[in-house]
Amino acid sequence: MSIATNGFVLAMSHRYLLAICICALSVVFHKWAPFLGALGIAMVVVTNIEFSLVRNGGLVSPRPSKTDLLVFLLGCLAMVAIKVIGVFGLFTLDLPMIGEFKHYLIGQDQYESLERVNGLTKAALLAVLVIVSEVVLGATEDANLNKARSLRRKVLMFILPLAAYPEIFSRVLVVYWVSELIFIVSAFATTQTRIRLSAALIFCSYGVAPNALNVIIGPVSIFSF
């Protein structure tokens, strides 16, 4: 995750070549890493292009922008493409990561258990957290923070449709966590209390997330709610 974070930050600074090199080298640590890194860098590029075209310092509206909706549409197309691969059994195509989908689509039932939160629930909880944190944050003219804020939103918009495939969603969720980490660091770097409160809310929310409770007090925690 630290390598992915470095790659994202470099890409946000327009140092794309170095970001791509780090993304390529990450295959040493995990076979999904280059794919997830490429996805993250693509979201950063879209964010950078969007901010280069605005004149108001990148002020982020509470409502999704046209670019956000376009990214969401791309996420829906990715969901449909994965479904097509599963329906027609195109797992033998000589394309990166295609063969991996067979394991996560056909055998995804073996990962289900009572103490695990399903993909749709995770997506809903993340969406609620983003909405609440955006309300607390409000409007700001800090360009760097707004860029991190916009990146987090775009990554979430892209991966939300993938919640239909819980195991794939759990893996691409790493990209969202990196974007959210960048947002939290950017928020705490400011001097405005409201912005820091928004970041603190996100940070504390993960401490009481179902998966965190499972780790801290065991799977029995799921029955306590």
Least confident of 6-15, 70-79, 102-111: 102-111
Q: 165 lies in a domain?
A: yes
pLDDT above 90 coverage of the chain, percent: 22
Six-digit token pair at 120? 């749709």
Give the number of other Cβ atoms within 10 Å of residue 41's Cβ. 22
Average pLDDT over residues 14-21: 87
Quick one: what percent of the chain has pLDDT higher than 70?
A: 73
Q: How many CB atoms lie within 10 A of CB 100?
A: 15
* 56-100 pLDDT, tens digit each: 555 666 677 888 999 999 999 998 988 887 776 666 665 556 656
Identify whether 175 is part of a domain: yes
Q: Is 93 helix (H, G, I), strand (E, B) or coil?
A: coil
Residue 14 lies in a domain: no
Indicate whether 85 belongs to any domain: yes
pLDDT (0 to 100) of residue 158: 95
Q: How confident is the model at residue 165 (pLDDT cuts 50, 70, 90)?
A: confident
Q: Is a pLDDT exceeding 90 seen at residue 208?
A: no
Q: What is the pLDDT of residue 114?
A: 47
Domain membership flag for residue 50: no
Number of domains in the chain: 1
Q: What is the mean pLDDT of residues 153-157?
A: 93
Burial of 24 (0-12, 13-18, 19+ CB in 10 A): middle
Cα distance between residue 108 and residue 120, in whole Å: 14
Is the predicted pLDDT of residue 166 greater than 50, yes or no? yes
* Cβ proximity of 168 and 82 under 8 Å: yes
Could you tell me the two tokens for 48? 């950078």
Tell me whether residue 140 is in a domain. yes
Query: Higher model confidence: residue 95 or residue 14?
Result: 14
Which residue range forms the structural domain that includes residue 176? 65-224
Q: Which residue has the higher pLDDT, 185 or 212?
A: 185
Whether 44 is in a domain gets the answer no
- State the pLDDT at residue 184: 92
